[in-house]
Amino acid sequence: MLIRHDALTEWTKSSYSAVNGDCVEVRAEDRRTVAIRDSKNPRSGTLGLSAEAWSTFILDVGRTTPPGA
């Protein structure tokens, strides 16, 4: 799977982030890599995932209901 080059060009926080803003942020590094970082500590580094791994993760999360939702 390719990531649209114009998608996620800026760090994007989940719309499900907690009221205090604690969440992860994502950004497309290039057409095949997604970078993930901790919004509470953005300078602590990033985790890079392939577009395929990111897509699998998002699809799996979409199949589950978070506690309290």
Give the Cα separation of 22 and 16 in Å (integer): 10
Global pTM reads: 0.69
Q: Any long-range contacts for 23-30 (C-beta under 8 Å, 24+ apart)?
A: 26/54, 28/3, 28/4, 30/3
Give the Cα separation of 28 and 24 in Å (integer): 14
- Residue among 36, 39, 4 at smallest CA distance from 21: 39
pLDDT in tens, 23-49: 888 888 887 889 999 888 888 999 999
Residue 52: both structure tokens together = 């395929």
What is the average per-residue pLDDT within 48-62?
A: 86
